[in-house]
Structures are given as structure tokens and as C-alpha cells.
Amino acid sequence: MRTERNIMKNFECLGLNPALAKSLVHMKYTTPTPIQAQAIPLALEGHDIMGTAQTGTGKTAAFAIPLIEKLLNNPRGSALVLTPTRELGKQIMGIMHQLLGPKSPIRTAFIIGGESMGKQIGQLRARPRLIVGTPGRINDHLERGTMMLRDTHFLVLDETDRMLDMGFAVQLEKIFKYMPEQRQTLMFSATLPKNILKLSEKYLHNPKRVAVGETNVVARNIKQDVIRIEQDKKYNELMSQLHDRNGSVIVFVKTKYGADRMAKNLRRDGFASEALHGDLRQSKRDQVMQNFRKMNFRVLIATDIAARGLDVPHIEHVINYDLPQVAEDFIHRIGRTARAGAEGSAISFVSNQDGRKWHAIERLLNPNAANDKGSDRKSSKNAKFRRGKKRFHRGKKKAA
Ligand code: AMP
């Protein structure tokens, strides 16, 4: 049955709890983004949701608003948000705290790997009603008996495809076992491969499907360019790109070691840069992200795991120095720019050795073009990229 709530033009029409409504005004969220307009009314009505949205679409608030509304309107019960990476978890926790407001009676716990167990046990003893965290550490607490989820009737799985890619399937299954079967589950994923659909069939009850745009399409306001280049010329090309462009840049590389080495080399060559990858201590990762947010340095060199889901509004350019191992990550990477309607650009360096990976990315972005077995030149996608390349060279000349 469709209700007034299904037609959501602004947040006011939802009649949200005054504390939450006030936070939204404070955060200057007046008009819901398309994924919010679809998901929030359904979640408030109690439905399970299987959601796909392009990156940067306001997905976090799409689940955070109904979650907090339910916590505020019920004296009991708690909610759990599972997220693949620590950085993404921090961002979600940040949005949750903004939505809860400064004097909220609702206690929270942030349970991620790489941080002190003692501090987390303290937070858990205080009976939090909202827990945000990564599956590995949450599972540790459940197994030690330092966390209970018997009263947790609201579950969010964010970036589920990434959680599965990172090997969290086992932990997720274990976590589900600690939770009541009677619960509301909102599952979000940027892509919908078979393993996600299976998971949703198993753990969601008659989920409503919400989607913004085509699942595998990148945000439209990202200008994409591809540069065919030999491996050993990439570094010089990177420097010339950095010279020619203004604004914050994120450069994706394949390995943790490569990220460290490139940040060092760029600093030597006069570009303020730092590396972000999974081998850094958590405090160092936090420090790097904080400095990048504050624009204390311009170029962030990152591996895929560390950068998933990051929301740094001022990132203007994404450079794929190495192509991702998994084609889907291409979409996530370039989703780091052009956040919330801003403009952005993405450049991909494609070497002779990258043929297979590049074809996989092209197939993902444009399945119809992939059916065309002709050469690169025949593919409409490549035509777009060729145009892109020309654009890039024009831009470069102008800048030089
Ligand atoms: P997300 O896709 O959740 O990472 O959100 C992308 C960006 O959009 C974040 O900076 C949010 O703060 C912002 N945002 C989300 N929803 C709204 C809204 N309704 N109005 C204005 N900004 C929003």
C-alpha cells in the first residue's frame, strides 16, 4: 500500500522525531537525495531493503535517518551497522553523531579492528543502542561474550559487496546467528553479483529493492580519461598530471609497498603526498585522513582496501595509476570524486600488460559494447574514451 510517506519531497513531510528533524536542519539536509527519497519511507514502514546506489549518493543518511528515528521512538532495542573498512566506519559514526545531535541520550559504540579492546569493552558495558563497526572485531567481541546482540532488531550491512570481497562472509554469517531472527535488515551494495543476491535471499525478508541509476554505472558528472602508456613512463606522466591540475588528488596503486614508495618519491619531487594502506597503524591511518581532509597535503596515494567509501568532498581528481584487480573497484575508486553532485575527473593509466583488466572494466561499464567482439576502435565505449583522451590533451596544452 502506498502512503503519503512514499512521496517524499522533503524531510519535513516525514514527521520525524523533533530531535532528528533539528539535526537535519543543522546539517543543512533539506532535500532528500534520490536514494534517500526511495529508501527512507520504506525503512520507516519496517521493510527490509536491498539497496544499490552509485557512490556519493547520500546512501549513509538513507539508512542512518530511519535507524535513528527508530531508536528515538523506542525506549528499548539497539541497532548494528556493519561496514567493511575502519575509515568508512568512522564516516558513518560521524554522520550518526551529527544526526543524534550533541546531547543525545543514545549511547554509541565504535567497534573496529586495530583499536584497543579495553576501550571498546568499556563502551559496550555502557549498553550502547547503536553499534557501528567492522565484522572481524565485532565477531571477536561476540565470541568473547563482551557484546550481546539479543536485543538488536535493526541491522545495516553497508558496502556488502566489499565486505564479501574482503573475506568477511564467514564473520557475517556468525554475526547473524547472534541476532534475533525478528529484525529489520537494510543491505546496501554498490554492485549486485550472485553472492550478494544469495546472501539477501538468505537473510532478508521480502526485501524492497531500491536503486539509484544503473548499478554498474559511474556518476555522470565524472569526466573520464584514459591514457595508454608504458609501465615505465607512468611516474613521469603522473607528475605532469599533478603539475597540470589543481585541487586534491587521490592516486590508486596496487600494493602497500608501492603506495609508500610513491608517496616518498612524490615528496622528493616536490608534491605534498602521503600513503594510506592497510598495513599502517590505525592511529597513522587516522592522522593521514585527518590531514587530507584538512588539505594539509594534496596527493593521497592509496590502495583499494583503505580507500573504499571515503567521502572527502574536495577530491577533484582520481588517478588510476595501477588498474584495480577487481573490475568493480573501478567504480568505487572513481566514486571518490564528484561527491554529492560536485564535478570530478578520473584518469586511468592503461599499459600493455593491463589489457585483460581493462577489458573487464569496459565490460562492466558497458556490457553491450563488450558483446561487440571487434577491435578497440569499434567499441562505442572506447570511442568515448578516445574522445576523453583528446579532451585531456587539449586540457593539457591549455594548461602548459
Ligand atoms: P554518502 O553517499 O552517504 O557518502 O554521502 C555523500 C555526501 O552527500 C556526504 O558528504 C553527505 O553529507 C552528503 N549528503 C547526503 N545526503 C544529503 C542531503 N539530503 N542533503 C545534502 N547533502 C547530503
Asked if 64 and 205 sit in the same domain, the reply is yes
Protein residue with its CA nearest to atom 4 in ligand 1: 56
In this prediction, residue 54 carries a pLDDT of 63
Asked if 206 and 226 sit in the same domain, the reply is no
Asked if 356 and 376 sit in the same domain, the reply is yes
Which residues' Cβ are closer than 6 Å to ligand 1? 29, 31-33, 36, 56-61, 311, 313, 339-340
Asked if 186 and 333 sit in the same domain, the reply is no
Least confident range from 7-11, 334-338, 395-399: namely 395-399
Select from 20, 98, 311 the residue to mutate for testing ligand 1; criterion: most ligand atoms less than 8 Å from CB. Answer: 311
> Is residue 336's pLDDT more than 80?
no
Asked if 35 and 58 sit in the same domain, the reply is yes
284 part of a folded domain: yes
Asked if 230 and 197 sit in the same domain, the reply is no
Say which residue, 101 or 373, is predicted with more confidence.
Answer: 101
Binned at pLDDT 50, 70 and 90, residue 395 comes out as very low
Asked if 233 and 203 sit in the same domain, the reply is no
> Shortest CA distance to 225 belongs to which of 114, 346, 314?
346
**What are the angstrom distances between the C-alpha of 399 and each of 34, 245, 318?**
36, 8, 18
Q: What share of the chain has pLDDT > 70, as a percent? A: 85
Binned at pLDDT 50, 70 and 90, residue 162 comes out as confident
Select from 8, 29, 93 the residue to mutate for testing ligand 1; criterion: most ligand atoms less than 8 Å from CB. Answer: 29
395 part of a folded domain: no
Protein residue with its CA nearest to atom 12 in ligand 1: 58
Contacts of 42 (CB under 8 A, 6+ apart): 6, 49, 208, 210
The 10s digit of each residue's pLDDT in 97-151 is 999 999 899 999 999 998 889 999 999 999 999 999 999 999 999 999 999 999 9
The 10s digit of each residue's pLDDT in 204-237 is 999 999 987 544 445 557 788 889 999 999 999 9
Rounded Cα gap, residues 50 and 209, in angstroms: 5
Question: What CATH number did the domain enclosing 315 receive?
Answer: 3.40.50.300
Protein residue with its CA nearest to atom 18 in ligand 1: 29
Binned at pLDDT 50, 70 and 90, residue 306 comes out as low
Contact in structure between 334 and 264 (CB atoms under 8 Å): no
* Last residue of one domain, picked from the residues 174, 193, 212: 212
Which structural domain range is residue 328 located in? 222-382
Binned at pLDDT 50, 70 and 90, residue 342 comes out as low
Least confident range from 123-127, 269-273, 298-302, 345-349: namely 345-349
> Which atom of ligand 1 lies closest to the CA of 29?
20
- Structurally, the chain folds into a number of domains equal to 2
DSSP 3-state of 304 = helix
Distance 280 CA to ligand 1 centre (A): 28
Asked if 202 and 261 sit in the same domain, the reply is no
Least confident range from 2-16, 242-256, 313-327: namely 2-16
Q: What share of the chain has pLDDT > 90, as a percent? A: 56
Rounded Cα gap, residues 237 and 192, in angstroms: 35
28 part of a folded domain: yes
Protein residue with its CA nearest to atom 5 in ligand 1: 58
Question: Pseudo-torsion of CA 137, 143, 144, 147, nearest 10°?
Answer: 70
Sheet bearing 108-111, strands edge to edge: 108-111, 130-133, 78-82, 152-157, 184-188, 49-52, 208-211
Binned at pLDDT 50, 70 and 90, residue 19 comes out as very high
Asked if 256 and 147 sit in the same domain, the reply is no
**Which secondary structure element, helix H or strand E, spans residue 277, and what is its range?**
none
Distance 56 CA to ligand 1 centre (A): 7
The 10s digit of each residue's pLDDT in 252-290 is 999 999 999 999 999 999 999 999 998 888 889 889 999
In this prediction, residue 213 carries a pLDDT of 56
Contact in structure between 249 and 317 (CB atoms under 8 Å): yes
399 part of a folded domain: no
Asked if 234 and 148 sit in the same domain, the reply is no
- Grid cell 585483460 in the structure block, residue: 356
Binned at pLDDT 50, 70 and 90, residue 314 comes out as confident
Binned at pLDDT 50, 70 and 90, residue 7 comes out as low
77 part of a folded domain: yes
> Is residue 35's pLDDT more than 50?
yes
Binned at pLDDT 50, 70 and 90, residue 87 comes out as confident
Binned at pLDDT 50, 70 and 90, residue 381 comes out as very low
Assigned C-alpha cell, 329: 573497484
Asked if 238 and 303 sit in the same domain, the reply is yes
Asked if 279 and 195 sit in the same domain, the reply is no
Mean pLDDT over each residue of the chain, to the nearest integer = 84
Distance 93 CA to ligand 1 centre (A): 14
Least confident range from 22-26, 197-201, 304-308, 321-325: namely 304-308
Distance 2 CA to ligand 1 centre (A): 26
